[in-house]
Chain A
Amino acid sequence: MSVLSDAPAAIATTDVVVPRRQSRELGYIAMFAVFTAYMLIPLVGTLLFSVATTWFNTILPEGYTFEHVFETINDPLFVPTVGRSLIASIATIAVSVVLMTPMMFLLHIAAPRLRPIVEFLSLLPFALPTIVLALSLIRTYSSPPIVLSGTPTLLILSYVVTGLPFMYRALDNSLRAIDTHGLSEASATLGASRWTTLRRVILPNITTGIAAGALLVFSVSFGEFTLSSFIVGDAWKTSGVWTVAIWDDQPHKTTVMVMIGFVISWIISLIILFAFSKRATVEVGQR
C-alpha cells in the first residue's frame, strides 16, 4: 500500500520549470518497482502453488513437483472441458468474422451514414455487465418461440456479443489504416465487383487486423465463467465452470488451470502487442 503515499507526492514535487531530475527519477523508479511487484506477485503465487508439494507454514513451498500439473491434465474432465471451451472460442471467432467483416467493409465504402447505428450496437456490450447479459439471454430463450437456453449455440452467440466491441475496433482500425476507399475505387475502375474487391484486395490487407481482433475475442471467451455457468452450466461444462467447481476439493488443480489460463492470455497479448501493432491495445475486458 506504500504506493498510496508515494504517488501524490511524486506529482506534487514535479517541477516543470526547475527540474530536480535526480531525485524525481528515483521517485519514479520506486513507483515502478511497487507497481511491477503488485502486478507480478499474484502470478508468482499461482505458479508456486500449482507446483508446490506442501505449503502451509513456510514462505516458499517445501518442495516442487509437476504432479499436480499431470494430475490435472490426466483428469477425465480436463480434455472434455478444455475441448468445449476451445470449440466455443473458435466458433465464436468464425461467427464474428463472417458476421462483421463484409459489413464493416461496406460501412467504409458505401454506407458511412449507417456508422452511428453500427457503432452503437457494436459498443453496447461494454455497457452491459456480463451477468446482466447472461440473465437477459436465458430469460428470452428459455421459452417458445425460440428455445436455446442450455445449448452451446446460445453460449457461442453470447460470446459473439461480448466480442463485438473488440472485432469492431480491430476491423475499423485496419480498414481505416489501408485507405479502403481509395483501394476500392481503384479496384472498381478496373472492373472488379465489390465482392471481388473485398476478397482479392481488402481481405489480404486486413488479415493482421482480423487476427488481432480474433485473438482478443479468443482471450475473452476461453476460460470464461459467467456466461457459461448461467447459460449451459453443468450440461455443457466449460473449462471455466470446471475450474471453479474443483476449487473446494482439489485447489491445486484449480491453480494449474488458472496458470494455464494466465499463460494463454499472456501469449495472446504478447502476440498482439509485438506482432500486430506498435501501439498498446486499449480494451476493456470482461470480468
Chain B
Amino acid sequence: MTISGRSTARLWLLIAFLPFLVFCAMFELIPVVSLLLGSVGGLDRLSLEWIIKVFTNATFQRSIVNSLELSIISSLLGAVLGTAIGYAMMRTRHGRVRSGLIALASLSSNAGGISLGFAFITILGSAGMITILLRTLGIDLMSFFSIYSVVGLIVVYLYFQVPLMIVLMLPAFAGLQRDWAEASSSLGGTGRDYWRRIGVPVLMPSIMAGTVLLFVSSMGAYATAQALIGSRINLMTIQVSILRRGEILYQPAQADAMATVLLIMVALSVLAYHLIQRRAQRWIKA
C-alpha cells in the first residue's frame, strides 16, 4: 500500500469514528463538564459556596445520610441474600428449578423505574394486599413498618438488588471448581478449611465488586423513589429534583452542586468496582 493510500485509509477510519465521538462529546462529556462548572457557579463567578452548602446545610446533610444509609444497607442485604440464593442455585440437584430461577433473576435484575414503586404500594401500602392480609390476622403492619420510609425503600430496592447480585455471582460460582474441593479434602482439609482457604478467598473479590455495583444502582435510583414517596423522604436524588424544579425553592446552582456530589460518589464507586473486578476476573475463565 502506498503512503497516500494508507493516509486515505486513516482519514476514512477517522471519519467513520467521528459521529460516535462527536455524539459522546456533545451528550456525555460536555454536559457533565457543564454540570461540574455549574456547581461552582460558572467560570465567571467561581465559588465553592454551593458545594460547601451541600455538606453544611442540615436538609442537604440529611439527604446524604439517608441516601447512604439506604444504599449501604440495601446493597449489603442484597449482596448477602443474592450470594446465598445464587450459591443454592448452583448447588441444587434440580436442573429445571435452576434454569427457571436463572430466568427469573435475570428478568427481575432489570426491574426498576416507576413501575416498581407503584407495584409495592399495591401490596404494602395502607390498602395493600399484604397489609390487609396481616390486618385480618390481627397484625397492624402500619404500626411498625411503612413503605414510605427508608426501611420501606430498602424492601423495595431489594427487589432488584437480590436478583442483580445473583446474576453477578453466577459466573463466580461457576469458576469455583469442583476439583479444588476434592484436592482440599484429599490433602486432609475439612469443609471449614476448604471455605476458609479456598472458597471465600476466591469468591470475595466478586462479592465485593457485586456489592459496590448494588450500592451504585441504589444511590442513583430516582424514578422508583419518586413514584413511591414523592418528596416525603429526603434523598439526594429527590433533593436534586426539588432544587431544580422549584416546587418549593428554585436553586439551579444548588441542584448542580448536589448532583455533582452524587456524581462524584457514584463515579468513585464505579472506579472501585473496576479495580476489584480486575482481581475477581483471575478466577473466572473467559
Most buried by B among A27, A131, A140, A230: A131
Q: A36-B101, A42-B119 known; A265 and B85 CB under 8 Å?
A: no
Least distance between A2 CB and chain B CB atoms (Å): 11
Q: How far is the CA of A280 from the CA of B108 in the complex (A)?
A: 12
Q: Are A46 and B119 neighbours in the complex by a CB distance under 8 Å?
A: yes
Per DSSP, are chain A's interface residues mostly helix, strand or loop, or mixed?
helix
Q: A7-B81, A10-B84, A128-B263 known; A17 and B133 CB under 8 Å?
A: no
Q: How far is the CA of A122 from the CA of B85 in the complex (A)?
A: 31
B4 contacts chain A at the CB level, 8 A cutoff: no
**Which segment of A77-85, A99-107, A179-187 sits at the interface?**
A99-107
Q: A114-B17, A161-B27 known; A39 and B104 CB under 8 Å?
A: yes
| A-chain residues with CB within 8 Å of residue B244 when the two chains form the complex | 135, 230
A57 contacts chain B at the CB level, 8 A cutoff: yes
Q: A8-B84, A46-B119, A157-B27 known; A127 and B270 CB under 8 Å?
A: yes
Band of interface residues on B: 35 or more
Q: How far is the CA of A283 from the CA of B19 in the complex (A)?
A: 25
Least distance between B100 CB and chain A CB atoms (Å): 9
B77 contacts chain A at the CB level, 8 A cutoff: yes
A177 contacts chain B at the CB level, 8 A cutoff: no
Q: Are B110 and A59 neighbours in the complex by a CB distance under 8 Å?
A: no
| A-chain residues with CB within 8 Å of residue B159 when the two chains form the complex | 38-39, 42
Q: Are A261 and B115 neighbours in the complex by a CB distance under 8 Å?
A: yes
B146 contacts chain A at the CB level, 8 A cutoff: no
| A-chain residues with CB within 8 Å of residue B224 when the two chains form the complex | 287
For A28, give its contact among B32, B92, B128 (CB under 8 Å): B92
B164 contacts chain A at the CB level, 8 A cutoff: yes
Least distance between A240 CB and chain B CB atoms (Å): 6
For B115, give its contact among A25, A131, A258 (CB under 8 Å): A258
Most buried by A among B106, B119, B195, B226: B119
A11 contacts chain B at the CB level, 8 A cutoff: yes
| B-chain residues with CB within 8 Å of residue A128 when the two chains form the complex | 28, 32, 220, 263, 266
Q: How far is the CA of A121 from the CA of B30 in the complex (A)?
A: 12
**Which segment of A67-75, A204-212, A221-229 sits at the interface?**
A221-229
Over the window 112-128 of chain A, the binary record of Cβ atoms lying under 8 Å from chain B Cβ atoms (1 yes, 0 no) is: 00100110010011111
A55 contacts chain B at the CB level, 8 A cutoff: yes
B116 contacts chain A at the CB level, 8 A cutoff: yes
Q: Are A280 and B119 neighbours in the complex by a CB distance under 8 Å?
A: no
Q: A42-B119, A226-B222 known; A139 and B88 CB under 8 Å?
A: no
| B-chain residues with CB within 8 Å of residue A266 when the two chains form the complex | 107
Q: Are B220 and A135 neighbours in the complex by a CB distance under 8 Å?
A: no
Over the window 59-82 of chain B, the binary record of Cβ atoms lying under 8 Å from chain A Cβ atoms (1 yes, 0 no) is: 000000000000000000100110
Least distance between B276 CB and chain A CB atoms (Å): 15
| A-chain residues with CB within 8 Å of residue B170 when the two chains form the complex | 280
Least distance between B24 CB and chain A CB atoms (Å): 4
Number of A residues near B (Cβ < 8 Å) is 97
Q: Are B20 and A118 neighbours in the complex by a CB distance under 8 Å?
A: yes
| B-chain residues with CB within 8 Å of residue A41 when the two chains form the complex | 123, 129-130
Q: Are B110 and A17 neighbours in the complex by a CB distance under 8 Å?
A: no
Q: Are B85 and A17 neighbours in the complex by a CB distance under 8 Å?
A: no
| B-chain residues with CB within 8 Å of residue A53 when the two chains form the complex | none
Task: Name the residue of chain A whose CB is nearest to the CB of B265.
Answer: A129
Task: Name the residue of chain B whose CB is nearest to the CB of A40.
Answer: B104
Least distance between B74 CB and chain A CB atoms (Å): 12
For A133, give its contact among B31, B97, B213 (CB under 8 Å): B31
Q: Are B28 and A124 neighbours in the complex by a CB distance under 8 Å?
A: yes
Q: Are B191 and A135 neighbours in the complex by a CB distance under 8 Å?
A: no
A190 contacts chain B at the CB level, 8 A cutoff: no
Q: A130-B220, A131-B222 known; A45 and B88 CB under 8 Å?
A: no
B122 contacts chain A at the CB level, 8 A cutoff: yes
Within 8 A of A (CB), among B21-71: 21, 23-24, 27-28, 30-32, 34-35, 38
A92 contacts chain B at the CB level, 8 A cutoff: no
Q: Are B35 and A110 neighbours in the complex by a CB distance under 8 Å?
A: no
Least distance between B207 CB and chain A CB atoms (Å): 12
Q: How far is the CA of A15 from the CA of B256 in the complex (A)?
A: 53
Q: Are B85 and A240 neighbours in the complex by a CB distance under 8 Å?
A: no
Binding site for A on B (CB under 8 A): 9, 13, 16-17, 19-21, 23-24, 27-28, 30-32, 34-35, 38, 77, 80-81, 83-85, 87-89, 91-93, 97, 101-116, 118-120, 122-123, 127-130, 132-133, 135-136, 158-160, 162-164, 167-168, 170, 181, 184-185, 189-191, 194-195, 199, 213, 216-224, 226-227, 237, 240-241, 244, 252, 255-256, 259, 262-263, 266-267, 270
A-B contacts, 27 of them at CB < 8 A, read A3-B81, A7-B80, A10-B87, A10-B88, A15-B191, A16-B195, A32-B101, A36-B101, A45-B123, A59-B136, A121-B24, A125-B28, A131-B259, A132-B32, A132-B259, A132-B262, A135-B244, A139-B34, A139-B252, A140-B30, A158-B27, A240-B113, A244-B114, A255-B122, A258-B115, A286-B112, A287-B160
The 7 closest A-B pairs by CB, nearest first: A129-B220, A7-B84, A136-B31, A287-B112, A45-B123, A42-B119, A280-B106
